[in-house]
Structure 1
């Protein structure tokens, strides 16, 4: 897992946190009302404790998501480019969700049923006047249905590492803290700035583009490199053929050059031998006539 993926999770949590106020805001208000009789110092410590519980719950969910990725997805994607493609598609999916696509609405409804099932247990943590209760409340808070959380969990699944999935979800939770611990005045300011500059939509667009780059660009580069390599191979083959032709022609010329003097010398020797033989025959002819 790269730092870029952790940064994406952090920004996803921060720019998506105004959406969290719709459901988490009421829960934070209930927690605050249950701590009205404690001192300000202890109140701050209790707030930190239940946020620690919430981040721990996110990390545990990320650990489970990473285990799912390792056990279910990893065996299907050994030695191929599917991990990168799947990560790119998940980033596109999550980015589109941040842009407003209602992909995770049904999943939120399913999560709401589980949240209602936890209602009896949630009632037992009030009032939040002790640290164990605050920690338990935070752990339960992590199961509050939220499309943004589910989107982050999808990224944790394709991280293909349980520890990476836990770290990613913990960092995502850190991104949501500023909005959830800010005062009423600061919350209004943050919501105004994020809404005015459409930072959530901007972050979603960046995630979509990043996902497309992760999934598509390496394949395009590989195809371009393959074609370039094929051209080089063809050029090398042609050059090799040309060099072989030139070498063969040179060798033939050299053989002709080497053989010509030898052939000429051989022909000259044959001529000299024939002349010498004819001369000897001429000298023998009178002797033969005289003998007769």
Structure 2
């Protein structure tokens, strides 16, 4: 969970660039004091709730891969791809043209989000945050890989919730103090993103290597092995019949 929080915090200044315009148009700028804080809290609670729902789903998906005995290889391959991504980016290779995959789902979310923002009502802040959390984002995709690698529904949810909590300081700050974070500061912290991605890639690879290191590289066994073991194991209190 610490790794996911750090990932969210490191990437939060990327979030300012992507989601900052939404945060700056929230119906809280005219408010003051506790009501403004409450509005910002509602918006960010919506975002973190959306991340948690994604964590539930992808944690469940990771659980299915775990039961199929594929989690170990998935963890190693995902970690390796993250490291390759960092290397290619540092070499100046342009991987995309800056567009996300189009889809009816994304278009619907953007349409609903636009409608809620135009209403400028305090009561819509949670929904605005939730919908914002569902928009396509490379940083969220990175968090999702960790949720899948967790191989557990609850752990996946907690991973993404911690990720969302990591983005909270910067996102709340840019909403409350729109002048707080200058462009040079954002650029310096954004340059640390490859470090965060590399750390996560290494952790995923270590997790898949089954080195027996608690929390970092625990021994992963497939769910099918547990089923076979339980079916074939003879209870210790069962005695052989006397002849």
The answer to whether 1:83 aligns with 2:49 is no
More displaced stretch, 165-174 vs 153-162 = 153-162
Alpha carbons 1:16, 1:200 under 8 Å: kept: yes
TM-score when normalising by structure 1: 0.60
Q: Structure 1 residues 96 and 17 mapped into 2: Cα distance closer, same or farther (>3 Å)?
A: farther
- Note if 1:47 corresponds to 2:40: yes
Is 1:130 the equivalent of 2:122? yes
| Residues 146, 210 of structure 1: alpha-carbon distance in 2 compared, 3 angstrom cutoff | same
Q: Deviations over 1:70-122 (max 9, x none)?
A: 23x12320xxxx53342233234345546664898599612676332223322
CA deviations 1:187-223 (Å, max 9, x no partner) are: 227425425xx4222222323333343344739xxxx
Q: Which has the higher contact order (CA 8 A, sep 6+)?
A: 2
2:206 to 195, 205, 213: 213
CA contact (8 A) 1:96 1:205 kept: no
Q: CA RMSD in A?
A: 3.0
Instruction: Specify every segment of 5 or more residues in structure 2 that has no aligned partner in the other structure, as ranges.
Output: 213-243
In structure 1, stretches of 5+ residues that fail to align are 1-5, 220-292
Instruction: Find the counterpart in structure 2 of residue 201 from structure 1.
Output: 194
Report 1:35-184 matches (<5 A). Answer: 35-71=28-64, 73-77=65-69, 82-97=70-85, 101=89, 105=96, 109-110=100-101, 114-126=105-117, 127-131=119-123, 133-182=124-173, 183-184=177-178
Q: Deviation digits for residues 130-177 of structure 1, max 9, x if unmatched?
A: 23x111111111112101101111221121111111100000011111
Relative to structure 1, the CA distance from residue 202 to residue 26 in structure 2 (aligned partners, 3 Å threshold; closer, same or farther) is same
Task: State whether residues 147 and 160 of structure 2, in contact with CA within 8 Å, keep that contact through their aligned partners in structure 1.
Answer: yes
- Counterpart position of 1:187: 181
Q: Do the aligned partners of 1:58 and 1:173 also contact (CA within 8 Å) in 2?
A: yes
For the residue of structure 2 that corresponds to 1:186, the secondary structure is: coil
Does the CA contact (< 8 Å) of 1:69 and 1:158 recur in 2? yes
**What residue number does 1:259 align with?**
none
- Taking the aligned partners of 2:159 and 2:94, their CA distance within structure 1 comes to 21
Which structure has the highest helix share of the two?
A: 1
Size of the aligned set, in residue pairs, is 204
> Is the partner of 2:181 in helix, strand or coil?
helix
- Aligned equivalents of 1:171 and 1:76: distance in 2? 27
Contact 1:108 1:145 in 2 (8 A): no
